[in-house]
Amino acid sequence: MPRPFDVRTDSPASVEMIRSAFGSEAYWHARIAEFGGGATTLDTLTVDGDGTISVATTQDLGHDVLPGVLAKVFPGDLTLVRTETWRPAAERVSGEVTIAASGVPGRGLGAASLAPAPAGSSLTLSGTVEVRIPLVGGRVEKYICDQIIVEIPALQRFTSDWISRNA
């Protein structure tokens, strides 16, 4: 059964400033350097005429860098493919996020909304993580959801800082 997660975080940057950063290759390379180490690549970044932004990254995780709970469950290396699609909608931006892991019976799905807030913008992300491995799948799902809840605010802080340095 998929495990749900919900996270909300505010940013001093406006919706438009964040959307603009999401459309910048320089932003993605900086974000990958900060959060993905040398094991993550930017596969695609497209900005359509209607302002829709599509991003795909691949992260190769060697067994030696997997956190304990994951290293016990997965004897080999993992490859994670993340896709993000961000669509402008009036004063907001809606997002879809997917995570797929090669060789692992599971996935992550999320729906995001970036909306104006009194002091900038507010990002909400709701989704599910599912790992279909008997006996341990629930523990792995909990670990991943806990990581997402910590990572999303850190990503938004990074994005706000990147915008202030590159505006």
Angle at which helix 137-166 crosses helix 15-22, to 10 degrees, equals 100
pLDDT tens string, the chain, 167 residues long: the values are 799 999 999 999 999 999 999 999 999 999 999 987 668 999 999 999 999 999 999 987 765 666 666 667 766 667 889 999 999 998 999 999 999 988 678 899 999 999 999 999 999 999 999 988 888 778 888 888 888 999 999 999 999 999 999 97
Quote the CA–CA distance of 150 and 157 in Å, as a whole number: 11
> Looking at the domain 3-166, which fold is it?
Alpha-D-Glucose-1,6-Bisphosphate; Chain A, domain 4 (3.30.530)
* Residue 2: partners with Cβ closer than 8 Å, 6 or more residues away: 128, 129, 130, 141
Domain ranges within the chain, ordered by starting residue:
3-166
**Phi/psi zone of residue 36: left (φ > 0), alpha (ψ -120 to 50 degrees), beta?**
alpha
- DSSP class per residue in 4-68: EEEEEEEESS-HHHHHHHHT-HHHHHHHHHHHTGGGEEEEEEEE-TTS-EEEEEEEEE-GGGS-H
Question: Which pTM does this prediction carry?
Answer: 0.89
Four-CA torsion 23, 27, 29, 31, nearest 10 degrees: -120
Quote the CA–CA distance of 115 and 90 in Å, as a whole number: 10
